[in-house]
Each structure stands twice: as structure tokens, then as C-alpha cells.
């Protein structure tokens, strides 16, 4: 393992030594694989472009993000700049390294979007974007090559599995009542919390090496906090709200469709984003983070509301504002 790490450190240093001029474009590419970007682009797909693609992208964000957080805690592998002071930390991360979340999420989400569009050009563009996102994570010093490769592999497997079970599960749920569907959405979200708790529990006998902490701080990055469950709570809350809102809309209004002009599609996205920002920033200021248990419960509630806003309340406002036709 040490030989592999030495080789990959050398590869990272080679990429970084290509020049600091690459930092800005690499930061841009890495943003295309960030959760913030997907939280912005997924509603745009759902509200203004194609609800089916938007729903699939949302499911990829939830499934891939949740699994990635758990796998990181199970493997508890370092970031490159944690183990070698020669690696520059152009970005700062506090979680474990493998698998790369940016690589896994971009492979699953961009891959699902490309598959849903059914155009060769979309597939080619998707592959290029996913590759550049993975490369950016190596250049920025936050991932080893094997982190990126593992992320791509898992992201691809998630797509293949999702496409296999999507229709059977949809047919099964369509025959159930609203209450049962909401219960399934809650259990689905609770699964990720349980998975995160199990991963955290499995690491209780493991101590974060002091060298990793000192190297991270020396690189000007944040102190590692790799067993934090905030990310898992966030994903779980979004999952519950997203799926519950989707079920509520189908029960009340039927299949969600988009039938309006391009101008109204842009306006829908603008109105929808205002709601997300109010829920995200407004409730973040109001809700306390301590004590820890209460903070986690309120975080789950806040992101549940954001998920509900995406699939139910925002489309309801669009109807009220006559932006749905």
C-alpha cells in the first residue's frame, strides 16, 4: 500500500507542477461536481426542463451522496495533503478521501442525465465533464488517483442498478396509498442515517493520526473531521422531502409536466431559487446547532423542507402564479 501511495503522490505532484495557472479552471471543473452545484442544477431540470430527468438527477444525488458519505467512513483513507506536506492543498476537505465524492456524484448524476437525454453528443459531453472533474480533484490535492477511479466505478454501478430497479419499484409504489408512499420515503431516508451511524460506530476504535492533522493545518486547510454525520443528515432530509413532495403532487395533481414558454421556465427557476435560499439561509440562522441531537433533528427538518419545496411547494406556487401553462 505504501508503494501505491508513493506512486500516487508522485503523480499528484507531477499534475500540480504543470503550473498554478491551472488552479482557476480546475476550481471551475470541481464546482461542476459539487453538491452545491447539483442542488442548483437539479431543481432547474425538474422545474424548467424535464421533470423525469430532474427526478432521476435528484435520486442520483441522494443515493450517490448517501453511499459516498458512508463508504468514506468505512474506509477512512487520507487526503494527499494529509500524508505528504509537498502536496499543495488548493482546496480544503474535512472528510475521508476514498471514494471521491465529486467523481462518484458526477459520474452518477451527469451519467444519468446523459442516459436520459438519449443523444450521443450528451454522452460524449458527460464523459468529458466527468473526466475533468476527477482530474481537478487530483490537481487540487484533495484526492489520490485511486479515490477518483473508485468514485467513477461506484457512480457507474449506481446508474446500472437504478435503471434495473426503477420501473419495478415505480409500478409497485403506484399501487400503494399516499400514506404508505410517505412511510417508504421516511424509511428510505432513515436508511442513510442508519448507514452513517453504523459506519461511524465501526470507526470508534480508530484514532485519526496526528500527522494527518498537522499536515492539513500546515497546508492552510481545515482540521480533518471525517466522522461528522452532518452530510448524511443533510442527504436523508433531502431524500424524505423530495420523495414525499413527489408523492403528494401525484396524489393531488397527477403526473407533473411542464407546458409553458421559455420565459416562464426561466421565471419558474428564479422563483424556485428564492424559496430555496429562504429555507436554506433563513432557517440556518434561526435553527440552533447545539445541543448536537437537537441540531441534527433541525438540520434534517430544514433539508426535508427544501426537498418538499423542490417537488411540491414550488410547483404549487407556479400554478398559483400561472407559470404552469
For the chain, give every domain's residue range: 2-320
Say what the pLDDT of residue 207 is.
Answer: 85
pLDDT tens for each residue of 273-293: 999 989 888 877 777 777 778
Centroid of chain to Cα 125: 20
pLDDT tens for each residue of 207-251: 889 999 999 999 888 899 888 888 899 999 999 999 999 999 999
> What is the Cα gyration radius of the chain?
20
CA nearest neighbour of 212 among 227, 222, 202, 199: 222
Contact present, 319 and 254 (Cβ < 8 Å): no
Per-residue confidence at 164, pLDDT binned at 50, 70, 90? very high
pLDDT at 63 over 90: yes
pLDDT tens for each residue of 287-320: 777 777 888 989 999 999 999 999 999 999 999 8
pLDDT at 181 over 90: yes
Beta strands in the chain (DSSP E): none
CA distances (Å), 179 to each of 174, 302, 310, 314, in order? Answer: 12, 21, 20, 22
Say what the pLDDT of residue 82 is.
Answer: 94
Say what the pLDDT of residue 14 is.
Answer: 93
CA nearest neighbour of 91 among 135, 129, 143, 41: 143
Say what the pLDDT of residue 291 is.
Answer: 78
Say what the pLDDT of residue 154 is.
Answer: 97
pTM over 0.85: yes
pLDDT tens for each residue of 15-36: 999 988 999 999 999 999 887 8
Residues of the chain with pLDDT > 90, as a percent, come to 64
Residues of the chain with pLDDT > 70, as a percent, come to 100
Tell me the DSSP string of 103-127.
HHHHHHHHHHHHHHHT-HHHHHHHH
Contact present, 106 and 65 (Cβ < 8 Å): no
Per-residue confidence at 1, pLDDT binned at 50, 70, 90? low
Contact present, 87 and 220 (Cβ < 8 Å): no
- Averaged pLDDT for residues 91-119: 91
CA 36, CA 211: separation in Å to the nearest integer?
Answer: 30
Amino acid at each position: 500500500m505504501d508503494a501505491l501511495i508513493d506512486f500516487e503522490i508522485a503523480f499528484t505532484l507531477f499534475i500540480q507542477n504543470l503550473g498554478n495557472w491551472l488552479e482557476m479552471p480546475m476550481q471551475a471543473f470541481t464546482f461542476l461536481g459539487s453538491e452545491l452545484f447539483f442542488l442548483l442544477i437539479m431543481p432547474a431540470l425538474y422545474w424548467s426542463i424535464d421533470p423525469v430527468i430532474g427526478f432521476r438527477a435528484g435520486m442520483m444525488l441522494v443515493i450517490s451522496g448517501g453511499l459516498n458519505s458512508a463508504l468514506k467512513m468505512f474506509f477512512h483513507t487520507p487526503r494527499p495533503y494529509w500524508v505528504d506536506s509537498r502536496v499543495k492543498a488548493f482546496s480544503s476537505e474535512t472528510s475521508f478521501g476514498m471514494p471521491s465524492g465529486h467523481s462518484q456524484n458526477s459520474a452518477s448524476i451527469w451519467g444519468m442525465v446523459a442516459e436520459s437525454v438519449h443523444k450521443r453528443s450528451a454522452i460524449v459531453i458527460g464523459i468529458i465533464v466527468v473526466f475533468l472533474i476527477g482530474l481537478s480533484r487530483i490537481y487540487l490535492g484533495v484526492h489520490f488517483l485511486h479515490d477518483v477511479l473508485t468514485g467513477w466505478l461506484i457512480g457507474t454501478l449506481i446508474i446500472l442498478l437504478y435503471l434495473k430497479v426503477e420501473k419495478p419499484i415505480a409500478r409497485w409504489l403506484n399501487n400503494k396509498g399516499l400514506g404508505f408512499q410517505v412511510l417508504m420515503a421516511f424509511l428510505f431516508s432513515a436508511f442513510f442515517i442508519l448507514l452513517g451511524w453504523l459506519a461511524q460506530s465501526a470507526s470508534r476504535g480508530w484514532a485519526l493520526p496526528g500527522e494527518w492533522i498537522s499536515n492539513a493545518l500546515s497546508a492552510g486547510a481545515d482540521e480533518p473531521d471525517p466522522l461528522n454525520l452532518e452530510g448524511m443528515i443533510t442527504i436523508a432530509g433531502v431524500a424524505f422531502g423530495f420523495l414525499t413532495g413527489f408523492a403528494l403532487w401525484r396524489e393531488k395533481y397527477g403526473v407533473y409536466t411542464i407546458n409553458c414558454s421559455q420565459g416562464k421556465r426561466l421565471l419558474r427557476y428564479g422563483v424556485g431559487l428564492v424559496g430555496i435560499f429562504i429555507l436554506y439561509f433563513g432557517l440556518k440562522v434561526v435553527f440552533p446547532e447545539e445541543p448536537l441531537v437537537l441540531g441534527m433533528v433541525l438540520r434534517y427538518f430544514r433539508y426535508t423542507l427544501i426537498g418538499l419545496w423542490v417537488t411540491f411547494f414550488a410547483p404549487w406556487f407556479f400554478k398559483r402564479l400561472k407559470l404552469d401553462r
